Amino acid sequence: MSSFKEKIPQRVFFLIALSALSALGLITIFILVEGLPLIAKVGIVKFIFGLTWAPSQGEYGIFPMIIGSLSVTLGAVVLGVPVAICCAIFLAEFAPSTLANVARPAIQLLAGIPSVVYGFWGLVFIVPAIRNYLGGPGVSILAGSIILAIMILPTVISISEVSLLALPPLYKEGSLALGATHWQTIRNTLIPAAKSGIVAAIILGIGRAVGETMAVIMVLGNAVALPSSILDPVRTLTTNIGIEMGYASGEHQQALFATGIVLLFIIMILNSVAQYVTRRR
């Protein structure tokens, strides 16, 4: 009897975990069922590498939007990751406990701000600044990269800091005992030892940037064209779905689901790489 009672919580938790996996499976199946017919009709090569997105004319090429997603995400990584890693090092190694106890909740609070607030702030401050000082329309890759760089900070900072704090104290003590300075210890011992966690944090931050929709809709300009500079407007995969799903029907709607399939595979690859890097260490 007691053995049966002990198994009840185990089975309950198993059912809860199974329900979460079932939801993921149902979403994946739904997207595949809705999007694969369009990919089969157009052809996967033409769909992914096509340069023209004109649903009214039967043209469904998403390559400009793939380039838009990659360029904005790359800009966010270039702008946000160095700041995030430096902040994580400061909190883990230099910050007094009182300052760290205030800074950590403040950084985590960034993750709770609605994305539309980031987009509105970027539209009011970032876009006019780019237009006035750098030229162009303002709504651009650079504006989206700045917004996404701020949005990925909590993820990269938190995981990188935890990776540094999780290192055995002997690493730092041994390096200092051999005559290395504090900075040399951080640069040559702690960061390499925590590299897997930092890389995983960066990859998860990239996944966060790739999947963002509302904030970048407001600051990218949403032009379906290959960009020639960081001051050009672009459209990402997520913004394309967000903009057109409300009025799409028929093949047009199927093309948006097919875009979601491409986006789903990109996110799955990024998460798999992050899990692999973390587990390898």
pLDDT in tens, 53-91: 989 888 999 999 999 999 999 999 999 999 999 999 999
Q: Residues 53-280: name the CATH superfamily.
A: MetI-like (1.10.3720.10)
Residue listed under structure tokens 């701020």: 150
Structure tokens at 247: 């009025």
| pTM score | 0.88
- CA–CA gap between residue 281 and residue 152 (Å, rounded): 23
What b-and-e string marks burial along 200-213, b requiring 16 or more CB atoms within 10 Å of the CB? bbbbbbbbbbbbbb
Residue ranges per structural domain of the chain: 53-280
Contacts 24+ apart (CB under 8 A), 127-136: 127/219, 130/231, 134/231, 135/231, 136/229, 136/231, 136/232
Q: 3-state class of 234 per DSSP? A: strand
pLDDT of 36 above 70: yes
Mean of pLDDT values over 98-111: 88
Mean of the per-residue pLDDT values for the chain? 89
- CA–CA gap between residue 147 and residue 113 (Å, rounded): 12
User: Residues 6 or more apart from 141 whose CB is under 8 A from it?
Assistant: 68, 71, 72, 75, 220, 227, 229, 230, 231, 232, 233, 234
